[in-house]
Structures are given as C-alpha cells and as structure tokens.
Amino acid sequence: MISFSINLKDVAHSCIVTSKRWCFKESYIEPFAHQSLESFAITNGRQYLFVVRERNSQEVIKTNENQALRNVCDTEFYQIKKSLTKWSLHYISLLIDKSTITIHTGKWGVAPIYLVESKNTLRGHWNPKEHYKNLSSFQLDKELVSHYLITYYRPYSKKTIFPEMHRLTERSVAQWKGKGTLEIIYPPSVEQPFAKELKPNADVIGMFKEILYHSMKRWVHDDTKTISAELSSGLDSGIVSILASSLISGKLQTYGLLVMDEYKEAQISRRDELITKFGYKDTSIDIEGFLPFSENSYRVTNAEMVPWEGCYHAAFNHLLSLTQQKKDNVLFTGFGGDELFFPYWDEMDEVDKKSYISNAHLSRDKVPLFIKNDLYETYSDTVNSIKRAPKSLMSDSSIEAVAYGSPVYLTNNIWPVSPYCTPELINFCRSLPFSWRKNRRLQREFLTQHGCSRKISHPKQSEDFGPVMSHALQQSSIKVDNLFKNSCLADMGYIEPKRFISAYHKHINNRQRSKYSNIDFYTVIALEYTMYSLFTKQNENLVMI
C-alpha cells in the first residue's frame, strides 16, 4: 500500500507534495495509487502523519479529510491518529515525530510492507524484490532455510529468509530512530472463535450469504468502473463470483487458470456451467504455457524469484496482465474459503490426527538425502520453537496466501479483495456446529440453492495442480543442470548438489518409483533461483552505480 525511503536528516526539511509523493529533500513516501485506496497526510507543525487505507463505501468521509497535506491542531491530529485503529478495512500509517519513525498496519494483512535498513536510511516497499538491490549480504537465515527446503514451510513472521529484510505483519508496529534501531513490535494474539450451538430454525445459508454480500459491498463504490472475480471452478471462487455478479448491473468479468492432464476437462465443464448460468464474461489461460522455471516465467527470465511466493505466480502474472488490459481494477479472490470449515482438533478422527502428528516433525529418513545433515539438525531443533507472528483471526494459511500473493496483483495495478477473510464471516463460520462445516456442507448447499448442478456442488474431483508441477520439473532439466553447476546452496552448506541432480533425474524419469515428492525438488530449485535473482539485482545495482 505504500513505499518509502527515509533518511532522518531529511525530515528536518519542509514536506513537498508532488503528484505522486510526499518528499523531504531526497526522502520520499509514495502511496500505491489505486481507486480502491485513499491517501492523505496531516501535520500539526511538529509531527507528520501519512495514511493509506482501503476505501469503504459504507463509511462517510469528511470532504476535507483526504487532502494531500493538511495543517491541523494538536487535538485533531491525535483524534485522527487514534481513529485509524478502528478503520474497518486495511490501512498503513507512517508517523514522523522528530527523529522517530513509527509505522502502524491494519488487521487484514494485504500488501504487507517489507523493511530494510541501509546506510542510515529506512526503506519500505510492498514488493520484496524491490529490496534485493539494497541488501548488503547474500546470507540467508539458516533456520528458515531448513524449514523451507524440508517442508516448504514459510512462516508468516516479521523475519524473512533474508536476515536484513523484515515484514510488517498485520496489526504490528515498526519503530525506527536511525541506523541499527529498527524494531517490530507484535500485537497480542486474537481470541479465537469456537463451535457453538445454533438457535432453532436458524437460517445458516441465509446468514452466510448476507454477511459475505455486505462485506463485498464495501469495496464497490459509485465510481468503481469494473469489478471482476477469479473463477477456478471450485466451491470458494464459485460462491464469490455468484455474489460479485449481484453487486453490478452488467456482466461480471471472470478469470481462470486451466490446469493440465486429466483434471482439465472436468474443470472446463464446471466453469462453463457457471459462466453460462450466471452470464459471466470470461477469460482463461492454459497454465501449461507458464510453468514454473519455463522461458515464460518472469520470475526466471527477469531474475525476480521470491521464495515465499506461490509456485504458480508466473501464470497468475500473465492472467492478471489481461485484467489490466481490460482495465479491471478490483478483483475478488477465493483466498481463505477452505479454512473457514476446517475441523477443530477434537472434531478430527484418529487417522487425521496421526497424519498431522507424523508430519509435524519429519524424521531424517523422510527427508531427502541431498539435504545436508547439519541443515536437517537445524530443522529438527527448531520444529517447536520457530517463531511466527501472533495468532490472527485469519488462519495461518489464509493470511499467508493474502500477504504473499499481494505483490503480483499490485504489480498489475489490481487491488485484490479476499472476502472470506472478513472478520464477521470468520467468526460466523468458525462458530458453526461441525455438522455445517464437515465436508463444507454450507458451501455445497449454497451452490445447490442457487441452481448449480452436483458436478459443481459435489465434484468427483477438484482441479489439481500436481500435474503442473510434474510437467514443470520434467521440462526444466537442462536449465536445472546448468543452474546447479555452481550452486550457491551447495556453497552455503545446505545441499549436496550431485546427489540432488541424481535424485532429480531419477524422479522426472520415473516419478512412480521416486521416493520423493515434486515439492522436494521445487523448493531447492526455487531457492537456488532466488540466489541467482539476488546476485543479478546486485550486479545491476553495481552497473548503475
């Protein structure tokens, strides 16, 4: 939502407002320009407060409040500052008070700010790869590397895999008073809902629809030109698209990635039913044209690999570039839908509990031999102690999806909206008796009630990205061989490169007999490409200097 570069020596100068930024000499603060957001700044003569927040169509704003820079009295300054914590949607605020910078963030988790200290300057950006050129070291956090390579775990935390780069997690506060003083203060954990009994004759589907519908309305304004929705063919995106179409007078524009092999035909059939029944205008692309590590992956060709981003960002990036061409500005996602209906521990059967426990701490024999023993020991020693942000109302996987997925949307000037992450909806769904959450009964009955066939409400198989990863690994063998001739991960002592290449070729030549999974290889290749990206951006910076 915001990017900046601030040197404390500069803030003694007057603030200059340009068409895009607030500037103090060489320092600047730049809000992300989008019709879904509003930005303003105020000063009382001693302090400056800069704010970027999501617009809420159901909140009335004073006509003078959103001026670029406004002089106010002390009382109004503190009232506005205090009121931000009650803003119903997401926000970022940056306070300059003499020699102290304080940054607050809201509870939705979208587009988190990544922070880097460099030469007495604090830099912040919503796109982590923008910081690659500012990192002074190529070192990685060994603890986070161990969990990433062994389990693909990417904890939502103020720490990132780059020790110099920090993430401002939801509701957190960052404070900085000059070189080497950056501190990120976590908020308390949010009290979690629990299953309750329903009142007699409760209209569960009606309440679910009303909460979700009114939440989505908050992002639709009188001047909103277009809205669109992702449409995979699953329960989550299907429901969101149905409600999104009811928010506008014209046809809803939908977008989808088509999977591969035996899953593709059924996915197309389900999407076609939804498109025809609800009158969507649809755009879809075949994901096979944008496989991870392929020539069409901007993350590889542009040296922009970020390890905690999703495996299929290249395909999403191309799909989102089409939304930009159509000038779609707001895109509803299905992030967080699955998690609303997860069972609580005491609702799980013994098989699921045993599976969860066995995967919580992998023994050495379940970890690929190309992972060095020392790295495995780091993983094993920190399984129960690895730090992550305090508990949000959103599930861990939901907030990770929202936070890590944001840059690819913003890069294409799309504001992503994830209505399943609405606090009221989370509290409602997580409080339902298990009978309504089990097997996602609520969503299936919603779709049935809206006239969808059983192939949508009760599909025999959902879309699966497994074949996509298999094809990606099989088609990248030459690149992978070249990539690991001089492996940074090997130099750091994390992997055995010869063992990795040998296991990789055995896996892609006969996956049925391989004892490893696709993700075992993806994580290593992705992290090696991350190091390649880091070196490339650093060298570009040297050329510029």
* pLDDT 10s digits, 65-82: 556 899 999 999 999 999
Domain containing 137: what range?
Answer: 2-185
- Shared domain for 410 and 325, answered yes or no, is yes
Q: Please say which residue of 461, 490, 518 terminates a domain.
A: 461
187: three-class secondary structure by DSSP: coil
In DSSP terms, 122 is beta-bridged to: 6, 117
pLDDT band, very low/low/confident/very high, at 61 (cuts 50, 70, 90)? low
Q: Please say which residue of 461, 492, 507 terminates a domain.
A: 461
In the predicted model, is pLDDT for residue 128 greater than 90? yes
Give the integer Cα–Cα distance in Å for 197 and 14.
59
pLDDT digits (tens, 9 = 90+) for 371-429: 999 999 999 999 999 999 999 999 999 999 999 999 999 999 999 999 999 999 999 99
In the predicted model, is pLDDT for residue 327 greater than 70? no
H helix or E strand, kind and range, residue 360: helix 350-360
Residues 6+ apart with CB under 8 A from 279: 245, 251, 252
Provide φ and ψ at 87, rounded to 5°.
-65, 130
* CATH code of 314's domain: 3.40.50.620
- Shared domain for 109 and 61, answered yes or no, is yes
Give the integer Cα–Cα distance in Å for 114 and 103.
12
Question: To the nearest whole percent, how much of the chain has pLDDT over 90?
Answer: 82
Q: What is the CA radius of gyration of the chain?
A: 24
> Residue 226: left (phi > 0), alpha (psi -120 to 50), or beta?
beta
- Shared domain for 180 and 261, answered yes or no, is no
Mean pLDDT in residue range 187-207: 95
Q: Is residue 539 part of a domain?
A: no
In the predicted model, is pLDDT for residue 326 greater than 80? no
* CATH code of 168's domain: 3.60.20.10
- Shared domain for 110 and 15, answered yes or no, is yes
- The strand pair at 2-7 and 121-125 is best described as antiparallel
Q: Is residue 386 part of a domain?
A: no
In the prediction, which pLDDT does 544 show?
A: 38
Q: Give me the number of domains the chain comprises.
A: 2
Give the integer Cα–Cα distance in Å for 525 and 488.
11
Q: Is residue 425 part of a domain?
A: yes
In the predicted model, is pLDDT for residue 278 greater than 60? yes
- Shared domain for 148 and 252, answered yes or no, is no
Q: Which amino acid is at 60?
A: V
pLDDT digits (tens, 9 = 90+) for 45-56: 999 999 999 999
- Shared domain for 93 and 179, answered yes or no, is yes
In the prediction, which pLDDT does 543 show?
A: 43
H helix or E strand, kind and range, residue 185: strand 183-185
Give the integer Cα–Cα distance in Å for 155 and 303.
23
- Shared domain for 50 and 98, answered yes or no, is yes
Q: Is residue 364 part of a domain?
A: no
pLDDT digits (tens, 9 = 90+) for 106-127: 999 999 999 999 888 999 999 9
Q: Is residue 277 part of a domain?
A: yes
- Shared domain for 211 and 171, answered yes or no, is no
Q: Is residue 484 part of a domain?
A: no
pLDDT band, very low/low/confident/very high, at 242 (cuts 50, 70, 90)? very high
Q: Is residue 518 part of a domain?
A: no
Structure tokens of 244? 């999104």
Mean pLDDT in residue range 242-251: 93
In the predicted model, is pLDDT for residue 545 greater than 60? no
In the predicted model, is pLDDT for residue 454 greater than 90? yes
pLDDT band, very low/low/confident/very high, at 63 (cuts 50, 70, 90)? very low
- Shared domain for 167 and 262, answered yes or no, is no
pLDDT band, very low/low/confident/very high, at 181 (cuts 50, 70, 90)? very high
Q: Please say which residue of 158, 185, 212 terminates a domain.
A: 185
- Shared domain for 112 and 240, answered yes or no, is no
At which residue do the structure tokens 């809000």 appear?
Answer: 31
In the predicted model, is pLDDT for residue 440 greater than 50? yes
Q: For residues 27 and 7, is the Cβ–Cβ distance under 8 A?
A: yes
Q: For residues 301 and 295, is the Cβ–Cβ distance under 8 A?
A: yes
pLDDT band, very low/low/confident/very high, at 310 (cuts 50, 70, 90)? confident
- Shared domain for 218 and 263, answered yes or no, is yes
Mean pLDDT in residue range 244-249: 92
Mean pLDDT in residue range 245-259: 93
- Shared domain for 177 and 242, answered yes or no, is no
Question: To the nearest whole percent, how much of the chain has pLDDT over 70?
Answer: 97
Q: Is residue 433 part of a domain?
A: yes
In the prediction, which pLDDT does 247 show?
A: 93
**What is the pLDDT of the chain when averaged over all its residues?**
93
In the predicted model, is pLDDT for residue 64 greater than 70? no
